[in-house]
Amino acid sequence: MNTRAPAVEARQLIKTYPGDVTALGGMDLTVAPGTVFGLLGPNGAGKSTTVKILTTLARPDSGTATVAGHDVLRHPDRVRRAIGVVAQHSGADPVATGRENLQLQGRLYGLRGSTLERRVDALLERFALADAARRPVKGYSGGMRRRLDVALGLVHRPEVLFLDEPTTGLDPEARAAMWEEIGRLAGEEGLTILLTTHYLEEADRLAERIAIVDRGRIVVEGTPDSLKGELRGDAVHVELREPVGEAGRALLTAALTAVPGVHEVLCEGRRISVRADDGAASVPALLAALDRAGAGVASATVARPSLDDVYLRHAGRHYAGAGADTALAGLAGGVR
């Protein structure tokens, strides 16, 4: 088998749900083998639908996809043998013990006898569940359940592991532990990980390549560094005392763009984001321009580019506001 072939390849996936809800509007995706790939986007962007199609759970309306070299539509069974899936709700059996859950999962992949027992023991040990192995899962903490979910996905040594929002709902401590575990997994020989997340920090930290998903398609893709590097200079975030209207927004945007060293201006409610060659040096001029325009400033901060800025640039919206759909697509088009 050609090891250079992509572990995951999707072409023009389209999926519409009843009621004309477009979940995917032409998703293209290529994941190199042995890498960690992060799909980043807010809830409802289409990340989970993508994972459902790639894991043979759902069928696309059109488009093609292969996982580990197998076509998801023509050979779903081959795909299923090659993948491990850790969904948002992995549904470990609450009445069964951790060990029983793992044993059943292994049996479904054809593991038997001592091979199965050794594998289950190793996973329990590795995910720090050995002490809880004989207890029913309903007594597990959130972090323990999530670790069991990941162990369930790994029981048959998959080639491609799907992690759908692996740390959503975990407390900070459990999240840090999960990140460490995913980092270790990434180092394993040949394992490809496709991770979805709506945490910018998580994608930045775990993924070698990131694709930002917005409204059912990928808007930009690259390494976290290249995406951040694409943004020259610093980000200056200004918080206004009062939100500005449509007319005021155009006025402010024009006034700030005129400041030397400023490349981009995005105005959203009370928030103004400015991209400048030297953020700190631009602040006085920016504040003066705002003052002349009659806009009261509550705060101003200078920051190195973050993935939030990448998201803002490509999706035209602030990441935190994206779920609420504060559509500014038209404005963003003007800024670009």
CB 84 to other proteins: min, Å: 9
- Show the binding pattern over residues 236-255: x = contacts other proteins (CB under 8 A), - = does not: --------------------
Are 90 and 51 spatial neighbours (Cβ–Cβ below 8 Å)?
A: no
Are 111 and 140 spatial neighbours (Cβ–Cβ below 8 Å)?
A: no
The correct pick among 20, 77, 131, 225 for binding other proteins (CB under 8 A) is 77
Sign of the CA dihedral running 198, 200, 202, 207: positive
Binders in 6-35 for other proteins, by CB under 8 A:
18
The stretch near other proteins (CB under 8 A) out of 34-42, 76-84, 115-123, 307-315 is 76-84
Nearer to other proteins, 100 or 201 (CB): 100
Binders in 140-199 for other proteins, by CB under 8 A:
152
The stretch near other proteins (CB under 8 A) out of 53-61, 176-184, 227-235, 307-315 is 53-61
The correct pick among 5, 43, 59, 229 for binding other proteins (CB under 8 A) is 59
Are 208 and 36 spatial neighbours (Cβ–Cβ below 8 Å)?
A: yes
- Show the binding pattern over residues 90-129: x = contacts other proteins (CB under 8 A), - = does not: xxxxxxx---x---xx-xxxx-------------------
Nearer to other proteins, 59 or 74 (CB): 59
The stretch near other proteins (CB under 8 A) out of 82-90, 169-177, 271-279, 285-293 is 82-90
Nearer to other proteins, 94 or 243 (CB): 94
Q: Is 67 in the site for other proteins (CB under 8 A)?
A: no
The correct pick among 1, 19, 20, 89 for binding other proteins (CB under 8 A) is 89
The correct pick among 56, 167, 192, 197 for binding other proteins (CB under 8 A) is 56
Task: Tell me which residues touch other proteins (CB under 8 A).
Answer: 18, 52, 55-59, 77, 80-81, 83, 85, 87-96, 100, 104-105, 107-110, 136, 152
